[in-house]
Structure 1
């Protein structure tokens, strides 16, 4: 296959520019992007990854003061810088070639090449490496310690593979619907590029013997090894290390245990010894308390196992069980869940864990051969069977939050089946928590896409619930301390706040919409959202389209625009807060705040500081797209990426956002290729509306020549004017930079919609835009094409039945028949598709039986005789969003009508192609098709003759 890629690299190439060559299919793998970014707390060091699309990346460690690259770590990733800014720790991937070779040999995960660990002392050349690690951790607020867990060494038994007989036997046990759901779920997850070695999954102790955990003092380099460790956790301040020690397979005298290591005292204590399984290790913030769940009483082969919650406090001899089956506060016939997420509140006074109803043990009395495989779909089920099967493994582990008050020695069940999610406040110490329920209203999500909820406050000390709102359609935003609950009511399009006693409307008086002004689907628009809560919850800050408004939750002060006379609305500039300190949940003006600024007219972007009650700087907008900034914790230093269509993404640093310096230099090879330009185009639609889009031209554009043009669209794309389009094999979208480099124009128009006529709206915006550009002599009006994926693919079909102006068309995963798609299943989630047509993207706004005329009018399948344009369809058999049969309906109908049509089905692939080999393949076929139709290139075999099934895997049809 690789030979074919090389042979076809220049198929259909345009005449080479005098000094620059066009992009080809051989260049994808080495094209780079900026990956993870890290700043040291003191602002002196930055670490960032530069990664190729395929192959081995590099982690760079750089001095900000002199821009000097102090270290490169080949294949480094997942880096952390210690809290004292003295050390960088990262993982190192195996060589890509080694991992690929292991996959080709179909090795098991435990046999795959393993990660290494690297420790770099910043400011020195001292780099320590450790081979074969599974994970590492450093305390969040300490720079002294590192723990790394060694990877499992595969045993002889683990290397044995299942026989085909075993595989066939297991396959027969899985019902057909589950097969489909699992298949879609696997495709959704994608291929295992860069697989990492991880700790063995939690399970019954004794299933593995654990591996060595090494504790390293970063300052001295001294290491201490703990044998047979299965899991481990530091407290935030780095005082203690809690570990799960597993019994040794060769030494029955060694029992499972939970051990606690005091880092300052160099003291190891066994706080619980003996038991079958330990899970959910947790330490309080200061390390003075430890908690976990344990199962100690049953046989390892028991069909039912019961876990307890164990608590250890400094000064105790051992951990003691505080919650078990008969503990007051635990609901009848409930148990402690082994899948609990164990956490302490910030103060350490509250311990949170999960409980669940006791499940009936598996029935072993009925032989497998006699068991019926049946799904019963009931009209009163909260969720369709398809959705239940998709979430089955998650549901089997589902548990509900409970609280143990350590001082009062009291358990309280907070969540249950009717109130499944609890929103904690005050880092677990809040006065009020909040819960919402849609019990009894979940079925309506099938057609509405969302449900109405009742909102309650709950006292975590008593469990008492206070009703705040009923049948709420909107979003909720609890205050940081739990003193207030703010919510947006979509029906009333306003914010309301509960202060512990009363509810009041707090956004009254704001003269501008707080909801999406450009909303164009048949459902109530959502809000622009909440920026956050002020220190001590004194104010809440919410967005409109451009600005930030201060709301007084007590209702005493009127709403106020945070920017005053510098309002972004005056200049159509949208400001959004960039939260660079995720550990601080408050908004405080004690330190400068960073806001991103986006000019909705020019599409330029910038960063501004807000300090002293006003925005600073004037010349802040740049013709670039900027990534979200990160900030050094203790210094006024920010790092962010910057890019445009012509400039590859690179990392920049700035002090006080007053100046900036570039650190990286990705993709220098771009200078060798004929690239392109991007410009904003504005025109009026057929119904007189002003709209805009992007026109991409070749770098060597000559207005005296004519160029074929491809229109590529989805909904609105013009905000991406300054986005970099790396030449890459895409999931099925148009590879814009590739086509522009090879002498095409690419046009990306914005589209707005009205209820019930998406097909007409697509025609109104796209065709009017194409005709506007076609007035230019440099547009080859005889060689126009359209390409779209998913919703874009549908719009391709909608255009083809309304106009014959396009010479070629390509539609990825399109819906052709809304009447059959309406009742289908989105297999990636198991949900029904009705909501998409009534309330969502398809924008019909009615049921199929209320307005069948609209479904027919907007279904291209019923108008296929009008199509004159040759069409390529991509429709994959594991598509989790659009039913595969949509492509089949379309293809078979056009085939019967003797229309030129091709169908590409990438076996086992998703809605958007996941596997890179398939992405490369479709890029070549797409280029071959458009070069043939628009440039007169020689057609390839798959176009002229197809590829018979007997030649599959032997003949690719690419030559």
Structure 2
């Protein structure tokens, strides 16, 4: 069993991670083999190869993998930083190349490139040598296209590999070359020259080359996105250029109407947007007083523009946009539309969809017409490839909208289920803003995952030509990592539960078990969970999760650790792995249940009085619902949380005597201070987190002063009745460590039993391995000390 992660030999036995989850599924075209990554707590680079026959055994493991793929004939290519292998299947015969400089596989060409000692070997997918090339310095796989750089007569030549030979793309005296293919015959090449890039265009069909030159384009560092050839002779590029850092010693002027507060703290990005006609050597730098960002939405006529900070008043997590339309032919920019904070573009460039003021709108980019879609609730939108159909993920339905006729139709899903489209075609087209191109092929099956929140049930359906068909009925098992097989006729996915290690399933007309990882974890079958339903003071349903101790005996009484953070019903079927991670930072559920604890994960629904009072109300209701279980010792119950859960823990500690002890990590204690702070993690004033985010306050501090103060643990430290452990990283850019330190001081001043752990070199979560071992160890000590009466010297110092 592999434990080669995080230097496991240096990790104490009780903290080691032996069990893995499964991710990044691949299936061979002949459906005979599957590969996946073993997901450990700090490493996911071990690839496992298994036979797709329901086996519980791994054929081969490949540690430290950086590339892997099935070939067209069903063999398996894999490489790490030093070696590459081709595994011939089903014989498992290996062809191995050691001490390589690089290796790549292209499924389009069905060829493997292996570079060693500057000799490039071109190999077919059965391991046969096709040809060799001398004096090669690097190889690259760019979206399935294979390139290599070769030195010849003091020049570096960039070649594209073809099935039978190769094509010379570019020559330079500089070795560092990067390439982007725009079309079968057109390329953009980045040439690193004295710490900056020269940009070249090459058309091998017309034997034309051009260099990008413009006075503002000095010091090009990189591309923000892949260049787009809108039409022949018009290339759109989002470039990053080096900028002079702002003089931070100069006075800063902050105005009361300033939407650009971030620029006082961070330098403006060096984005430069250009339209380049390399055939006429014309460059247009796109700039406008109303726009700081440009993006291409797929249109042949337009580029769209906006200023992401124009409407940023920091009371909402995401601001709305005012979009402009730049006409490529006329070189004029004009107002297109005001949108919401999320925009979806269709692949043809004709339409945009946006949720604005709780109403969905369809915007025609060419006519500027805006059509109101009679739909309010939806989570995401996907266009068909031709832009004629718009699908909305929704509660209780998958909603289909015809962009031509305007007809809206709900495709019914089981009651209480929400739909989620399974697609990789969700592509950000303006990095940093929530503007995305989404699409699906209307001529193929589209798979849809259905999820019921209160029951934590999952089903799978398919959408095809206007019909929704349930393929897998609802199950309590966790269904994840869904991957559509290349031809779209089937999919593979993982299936697991709290007492069932991950399995891999294949779904076509029938369902078939592909692989079962049960051998890795025989103990898991002894773990069970139960959903606990209660109702808060407003009559709203809350469903928590109770996880039983391993080897549970109903005639015994057990202590319980209650870990809090938002709604946690979805944890009821999560496979519990060991190690130093879990749903709450600082504890591992598997460790606790193996050491005689119940673990309870309450859920929170939020009301008008904000997060603190809502958490207290819901936790009380769920603890009341647990009272019928006489095998839980309610005099030995702890409450623990991290981040927002840390805040909720600290708040409840000032209001409740139902817990024997508390552990609060990296949580706010003073909401007034936090509301009026700048958050360096989100790079924003923190108003929005209270008015539009996790704290669910009914408004700003000015109009809710009493509630903000009542909701702040630091102002009520005198009410804490039980010992509390606080912890934080002193480099936390999200919730500054002062929030924990000041709560500690308030508790200390009021003579409360408090201990604080502060880690100078860590942030919001604890990443340094020695500190992580320390934190988890001390929290387990704290729980054992207060819930099991296992005395720990370092804790008893608090009592002296």
Aligned residues: CA RMSD: 3.7
Alpha-carbon distance change, 666 to 212 in structure 1, aligned in 2, over 3 angstroms: farther
Identify the structure with bigger relative contact order (alpha carbons < 8 Å, sequence gap 6+).
1
Q: How does 1:638-717 map to 2 (within 5 A)?
A: 638-656=491-509, 658-666=510-518, 668-671=520-523, 675-717=526-568
Tell me if the contact between 2:477 and 2:496 (Cα under 8 Å) persists in the aligned partners: yes
Partner of 1:400: 272
Tell me if the contact between 1:468 and 1:503 (Cα under 8 Å) persists in the aligned partners: no
Whole-angstrom CA distance in 2 between matches of 1:618 and 1:284: 39
Partner of 1:176: none
Tell me if the contact between 1:283 and 1:344 (Cα under 8 Å) persists in the aligned partners: no
2:654 to 801, 807, 815: 801
Q: How does 1:922-941 map to 2 (within 5 A)?
A: 922-937=775-790, 939-941=791-793
Whole-angstrom CA distance in 2 between matches of 1:729 and 1:700: 22
Alpha-carbon distance change, 315 to 690 in structure 1, aligned in 2, over 3 angstroms: closer
Partner of 1:854: 707
Tell me if the contact between 1:785 and 1:809 (Cα under 8 Å) persists in the aligned partners: yes
Whole-angstrom CA distance in 2 between matches of 1:663 and 1:280: 40
Whole-angstrom CA distance in 2 between matches of 1:596 and 1:8: 39
Tell me if the contact between 2:50 and 2:57 (Cα under 8 Å) persists in the aligned partners: yes
Q: What SS does the corresponding residue of 1:663 show, helix, strand or coil? A: strand
Note the C-alpha offset of 1:499.
Answer: 5.3
Whole-angstrom CA distance in 1 between matches of 2:488 and 2:31: 5
1:378 to 250, 253, 257: 253
Whole-angstrom CA distance in 1 between matches of 2:149 and 2:607: 59
| Higher-helix-fraction structure | 1
Alpha-carbon distance change, 259 to 134 in structure 1, aligned in 2, over 3 angstroms: closer
Note the C-alpha offset of 1:267.
Answer: 5.3
Q: What SS does the corresponding residue of 2:732 show, helix, strand or coil? A: coil
Tell me if the contact between 1:31 and 1:52 (Cα under 8 Å) persists in the aligned partners: yes
Residue 422, structure 1, aligned to residue 294, structure 2:
yes
Partner of 2:616: 763
| Higher-strand-fraction structure | 2
Whole-angstrom CA distance in 1 between matches of 2:395 and 2:264: 35
Whole-angstrom CA distance in 2 between matches of 1:70 and 1:739: 29
Alpha-carbon distance change, 41 to 425 in structure 1, aligned in 2, over 3 angstroms: farther
Tell me if the contact between 2:499 and 2:575 (Cα under 8 Å) persists in the aligned partners: yes
Whole-angstrom CA distance in 2 between matches of 1:258 and 1:712: 59
Q: What SS does the corresponding residue of 1:138 show, helix, strand or coil? A: strand
2:180 to 267, 282, 286: 282
Using the size of structure 2 for normalisation, the TM-score is 0.87
Whole-angstrom CA distance in 1 between matches of 2:231 and 2:66: 30
Partner of 1:142: 109
Note the C-alpha offset of 1:678.
Answer: 1.0
Tell me if the contact between 1:414 and 1:463 (Cα under 8 Å) persists in the aligned partners: no
Partner of 2:432: none
Partner of 1:243: 149
Note the C-alpha offset of 1:134.
Answer: 5.6
Alpha-carbon distance change, 315 to 242 in structure 1, aligned in 2, over 3 angstroms: farther
Residue 227, structure 1, aligned to residue 71, structure 2:
no
Alpha-carbon distance change, 87 to 408 in structure 1, aligned in 2, over 3 angstroms: farther
Q: What SS does the corresponding residue of 2:318 show, helix, strand or coil? A: coil
Partner of 2:422: 578
Superposed CA offset, 1:799-847 (max 9, x none): 1211212111111112111222233333334433232223321223433
Residue 437, structure 1, aligned to residue 320, structure 2:
no
Whole-angstrom CA distance in 1 between matches of 2:65 and 2:529: 33
Whole-angstrom CA distance in 2 between matches of 1:73 and 1:852: 59
Q: How does 1:3-18 map to 2 (within 5 A)?
A: none
Residue 314, structure 1, aligned to residue 204, structure 2:
yes
Residue 64, structure 1, aligned to residue 31, structure 2:
no
1:868 to 718, 721, 739: 721
Tell me if the contact between 1:813 and 1:911 (Cα under 8 Å) persists in the aligned partners: yes
Tell me if the contact between 1:30 and 1:54 (Cα under 8 Å) persists in the aligned partners: no
Residue 339, structure 1, aligned to residue 228, structure 2:
no
Note the C-alpha offset of 1:605.
Answer: 1.3
Residue 353, structure 1, aligned to residue 237, structure 2:
yes
Residue 128, structure 1, aligned to residue 95, structure 2:
yes
Q: What SS does the corresponding residue of 1:721 show, helix, strand or coil? A: helix
Q: What SS does the corresponding residue of 2:599 show, helix, strand or coil? A: strand
Superposed CA offset, 1:551-575 (max 9, x none): 2323x332111x2xxx12x621222
Structure 2: which 5+ residue stretches go unaligned?
1-7, 428-436
Tell me if the contact between 2:51 and 2:515 (Cα under 8 Å) persists in the aligned partners: no
Partner of 1:50: 38
Note the C-alpha offset of 1:716.
Answer: 0.4
Residue 40, structure 1, aligned to residue 40, structure 2:
no
Q: What SS does the corresponding residue of 2:765 show, helix, strand or coil? A: coil
Tell me if the contact between 2:71 and 2:125 (Cα under 8 Å) persists in the aligned partners: no
Tell me if the contact between 2:640 and 2:663 (Cα under 8 Å) persists in the aligned partners: yes
Q: What SS does the corresponding residue of 2:619 show, helix, strand or coil? A: helix
1:257 to 129, 134, 156: 156
Tell me if the contact between 1:651 and 1:662 (Cα under 8 Å) persists in the aligned partners: yes
Whole-angstrom CA distance in 2 between matches of 1:484 and 1:841: 33
Whole-angstrom CA distance in 2 between matches of 1:6 and 1:933: 30
1:271 to 170, 176, 189: 170
Residue 551, structure 1, aligned to residue 401, structure 2:
yes
Whole-angstrom CA distance in 2 between matches of 1:670 and 1:785: 29
Tell me if the contact between 1:774 and 1:780 (Cα under 8 Å) persists in the aligned partners: no
Partner of 1:942: 794
Per mean C-alpha deviation after superposition, the further-off stretch among 216-225 and 836-845 is 216-225
Q: What SS does the corresponding residue of 2:701 show, helix, strand or coil? A: coil
Note the C-alpha offset of 1:440.
Answer: 4.1
Whole-angstrom CA distance in 2 between matches of 1:776 and 1:854: 35
Whole-angstrom CA distance in 1 between matches of 2:440 and 2:516: 32
Whole-angstrom CA distance in 1 between matches of 2:687 and 2:116: 48
Tell me if the contact between 2:227 and 2:238 (Cα under 8 Å) persists in the aligned partners: no
Residue 540, structure 1, aligned to residue 390, structure 2:
yes
Q: What SS does the corresponding residue of 1:886 show, helix, strand or coil? A: helix
Q: How does 1:457-476 map to 2 (within 5 A)?
A: 457-470=325-338, 472-476=339-343
Note the C-alpha offset of 1:646.
Answer: 0.9
1:323 to 212, 216, 221: 212
Tell me if the contact between 1:581 and 1:631 (Cα under 8 Å) persists in the aligned partners: no
Alpha-carbon distance change, 137 to 485 in structure 1, aligned in 2, over 3 angstroms: same
Tell me if the contact between 1:713 and 1:787 (Cα under 8 Å) persists in the aligned partners: yes
1:80 to 63, 68, 72: 68
Alpha-carbon distance change, 376 to 670 in structure 1, aligned in 2, over 3 angstroms: farther
Whole-angstrom CA distance in 1 between matches of 2:116 and 2:560: 55
Per mean C-alpha deviation after superposition, the further-off stretch among 746-755 and 493-502 is 493-502
Note the C-alpha offset of 1:309.
Answer: 3.1
Q: What SS does the corresponding residue of 2:573 show, helix, strand or coil? A: coil
Partner of 2:346: 479
Whole-angstrom CA distance in 1 between matches of 2:406 and 2:64: 52
Whole-angstrom CA distance in 2 between matches of 1:437 and 1:935: 58
Superposed CA offset, 1:478-523 (max 9, x none): 111011122211x243333225214233422x4xx41xxxxxxxxx
Residue 451, structure 1, aligned to residue 334, structure 2:
no
Note the C-alpha offset of 1:786.
Answer: 0.7
Note the C-alpha offset of 1:882.
Answer: 0.7
Whole-angstrom CA distance in 2 between matches of 1:780 and 1:685: 23
Whole-angstrom CA distance in 2 between matches of 1:236 and 1:863: 58
Alpha-carbon distance change, 762 to 645 in structure 1, aligned in 2, over 3 angstroms: same
Tell me if the contact between 2:324 and 2:336 (Cα under 8 Å) persists in the aligned partners: yes
Residue 507, structure 1, aligned to residue 382, structure 2:
no
Whole-angstrom CA distance in 1 between matches of 2:238 and 2:681: 28
Whole-angstrom CA distance in 2 between matches of 1:55 and 1:423: 35
Tell me if the contact between 2:156 and 2:175 (Cα under 8 Å) persists in the aligned partners: no
Whole-angstrom CA distance in 2 between matches of 1:845 and 1:588: 43
Note the C-alpha offset of 1:796.
Answer: 1.1
Q: What SS does the corresponding residue of 1:77 show, helix, strand or coil? A: coil
Partner of 1:498: 364
Superposed CA offset, 1:565-623 (max 9, x none): xx12x621222221267899643443322211223342221222334643334761122
Tell me if the contact between 1:42 and 1:633 (Cα under 8 Å) persists in the aligned partners: no
Whole-angstrom CA distance in 2 between matches of 1:816 and 1:280: 50
Tell me if the contact between 2:396 and 2:415 (Cα under 8 Å) persists in the aligned partners: no
Structure 1: which 5+ residue stretches go unaligned?
10-24, 93-113, 151-210, 248-253, 326-331, 364-371, 515-526, 949-959
Q: What SS does the corresponding residue of 1:31 show, helix, strand or coil? A: coil
Whole-angstrom CA distance in 2 between matches of 1:40 and 1:787: 45
